[in-house]
Amino acid sequence: MQSTNTLRRTATALLTAAVLGLAPTALADTGHQGPSWRAAWAASPQSPTAPLTPNWSQQGFDNHTVRQVVRVTTGGTRARIELTNRYGTTPLRITGATVARTAEGSAVRPGSVRRLRFDGRASATIPVGGTLLSEAANLPVKAFESLTVTLYLAGETGPATFHHFSSATSYRATGDHRADLSGAAFRETSESWYFLSGIEVTGGRDTARRNGVVTFGDSITDGVGSTPNTDSRYPDELADRLADAGRPRAVVNHGIAGNQVVNDTTWAGEKALTRFRQDVLTEPGVRTVVVLEGINDIGGSTVDFPAAATPDVPVDQLIAGHRTLIREAHAKGLKVIGATLTPIKGSFYDTPANEAKRDAFNDWIRTSGAYDAVVDFDRAVADPADRDRILPAYDSGDGLHPNDAGYEAMAGALDLDEL
């Protein structure tokens, strides 16, 4: 039988296609009656924006090939990609796509390039707001292997749905270079991901196991402050730790820098209360969700950078938002772990009122029993000499975001038995 996730995606896409008058063949791959698909990598989509770092989202692409390198956290005998046009304003034409094993930079390994097909075709169109799954590629994938996804976009795409802070380098070339082994043509780079929102695998030892972990949150889940191209975000470190402990499982990252629980923003994605259903509850093979979010709700009303300040969020409203996320996760049969908010002293969010809110919210996380389990990220990275401040050895430099060592400490704070 098809999975609930696949049926939901198919139904949504079919409804969208009916409204737009598109043919069903333009939709996601919904066959594969047998395989049990598992999320191996993910990135939450965002609407086009450029508040902090330049990127290609607002202008989009025209006769461009885009190469994106990602590291999967679980393996299988076959793989497929998920593409999204969630925030597009026109149907998105994918002229062609490949997946391959990464060599170095934008180069790929000889013999590993697989041309992807969509419902039997090399090209596909994704409707406005839609999601597209490729057919399975016969490319055995190992856990922690880097894959390169290459998209050729022959026509104008318009503004691009993307993920802003990737902590990884993406590459662009003019013309069709989807099958190139060399990276010579890819002379432009970006620190964002475009249209690519997931990689799923099937087959292998873990085919029948539903034990994946989703990490959900804001910039501290997204990995802001970590070293680019090293996969040193806390979800990456958690996946490494699980494997080292002989308990390997997929860990996928659904953080968005700047995201809030109860407020939409122009630059940091839809609020968690909206995107949780689209980003988390549709992921296949997931058992547990770790939620770390709320510091931007607390601090967003006190700063006007990089965009206008957002409405004030009282602690009880933030708690109510978290209770909604818990209910929705439980309704899907997911275990949900709540995380305390990390220190802000010395950061741009540092005010007495904001610190009082953070303390009150963390007290609720620790004592309410609302979550199935709790991870105390606050205490994991705080300076023992000043508990309101991040330990200097863990500070990326802004008083808010951890560095690589800080993210490793966060991963170490999770009780593996609770996962």
Summarize pLDDT for 184-193 with one digit per residue, the tens: 999 999 999 9
Q: What's residue 210's pLDDT?
A: 86
Tokens of 368: 């309410």
* pLDDT at residue 52, as a whole number: 83
pLDDT digits (tens, 9 = 90+) for 104-151: 999 999 999 999 999 999 999 999 999 999 999 999 999 999 999 999
pLDDT band at 206 (very low <50, low <70, confident <90, very high): low
Position 14 scores a pLDDT of 37
Cα–Cα dist 101/171, whole Å: 15
Mean pLDDT of 36-46: 97
C-alpha distances in Å from residue 309, one per residue of 258, 263, 285, 303: 12, 11, 38, 6
d(CA 31, CA 180): 30
> Residue 181: is its pLDDT beyond 90?
yes
Lowest-pLDDT range of 3-7, 100-104, 161-165, 168-172: 3-7
DSSP symbol at 141: B
For residue 244, how many other CB atoms are within 10 A of its CB?
9
Record the tokens describing residue 193, joined without a space: 């991901």
User: What is the sign of the dihedral through the CA atoms of 326, 291, 368 and 271?
Assistant: negative
Q: At residue 416, does pLDDT exceed 90?
A: yes
How far apart, in whole angstroms, are the C-alpha atoms of residue 215 and residue 222? Answer: 9
- Which helix (H) or strand (E) covers residue 276, if one does? helix 272-279
Contact call for residues 314 and 294 (beta carbons, < 8 A): no
Residue 231: the pLDDT is 98
Residue 207's pLDDT is what? 60
Q: What's 300's DSSP letter?
A: T
- The dihedrals phi and psi of 86, each to the nearest 5 degrees, come to -55, -40
Query: End-to-end alpha-carbon separation of the chain, Å?
Result: 27
Distance CA 347, CA 330 (A): 35
pLDDT higher than 60, residue 20: no
Closest to 49 measured CA to CA, from 264, 318, 275, 279: 264
The DSSP output letter for 395 is B
Question: For the ranges 206-220, 270-284, 302-316, 329-343, which has the lowest average pLDDT?
Answer: 206-220
How far is the C-alpha of 189 from the C-alpha of 89, rounded, in Å? 24
pLDDT digits (tens, 9 = 90+) for 320-369: 999 999 999 999 999 999 999 999 999 999 999 999 999 999 999 999 99
Per-residue confidence (pLDDT) for residue 12, from 0 to 100: 40
> Above 90 in pLDDT, residue 24?
no
Q: What is the pLDDT of residue 208?
A: 57
Of 15-24, 43-52, 211-220, 304-313, the one with minimum mean pLDDT is: 15-24
Best CA proximity match to 223, nearest among 56, 47, 379, 403: 403
pLDDT above 90 covers a percentage of the chain that reads 87
For 268, the token pair is 């940091």
Of the candidate ranges 95-99, 300-304, 305-309, the one whose mean pLDDT is the lowest: 305-309
Evaluate whether 101 touches 111 at the Cβ level (below 8 Å): no
Q: What percent of the chain has pLDDT over 70?
A: 91
Phi then psi dihedrals of residue 375, to 5 deg: -120, 130
Q: What's the whole-number average pLDDT of the chain?
A: 92
Query: CA-CA distances (angstroms) from residue 111 to 65, 66, 137, 297?
Result: 20, 20, 13, 48
- In this predicted structure, the answer to whether residue 35 has a pLDDT above a threshold of 90 is no
- Under 8 Å CB-to-CB from 391, ≥6 apart: which residues? 381, 382, 383, 384, 406
Q: Which domains does the chain have, with CATH numbers?
A: 4-199 (no CATH), 210-418 (3.40.50.1110)
What's the pLDDT at 51?
Answer: 83
What is the pTM (predicted TM-score) of this model? 0.91
The three-state secondary structure class of 220 is helix
